[in-house]
Amino acid sequence: MKSSSQLNLNYLRHTLATLVYRLSKVVSEVPEHYPQFKVSVDSRSPIEILDHINDLIDSAFTASTGKHKSTKAYANNWYRVVSRFYNSIREFDNYLAANNKIACSVERLLQGPIADVLTHIGQLAMLRRLAGKTIKGEDYFDADISIGRVGPEQIMPKREFD
């Protein structure tokens, strides 16, 4: 039987895989104008939102290691920002997979940076629709999301709908 701390790590790792799955749909095959698209002069563009997501992932990772710090990257290249997302998530997942001690509670990670990332993925999806390139919906309950699958290579949806 797994300990509660091991179950928490597995839930956290599954959550990271879920973030990757959902974000991968949003950042694949984007229109050329999408990274800089804004709905108003005061809103963030997708590249700025994704850069912020990366800062949140880095913050969650460093909080887990006990060396909590905030980062601000401000990248200006969409492909570098997307790559940074996968690299940051992979580094975090590898840390968790090695059964390293978590220096903060999983609950705090979920209520803080992880929940914030989910919110921002929704914003990116909405901006993509407004930019003219919708994402097909799917039944995420049946999605093939697995602990440790945190790279851009994701299993295609079983059933998508408009």
Which pLDDT tens digit goes with each residue over 109-136? 999 999 999 999 999 999 999 999 999 9
Q: Which residue has the higher pLDDT, 74 or 130?
A: 130
* Total domain count, the chain: 1
Helix axes 78-97, 4-27, angle to 10 degrees: 170
Domain that holds residue 111: 4-161
CATH number at residue 11: 1.20.120.450
Would the pTM count as exceeding 0.85?
yes
- What is the mean predicted confidence (pLDDT) over 142-157? 94
Residue 118's pLDDT is what?
97
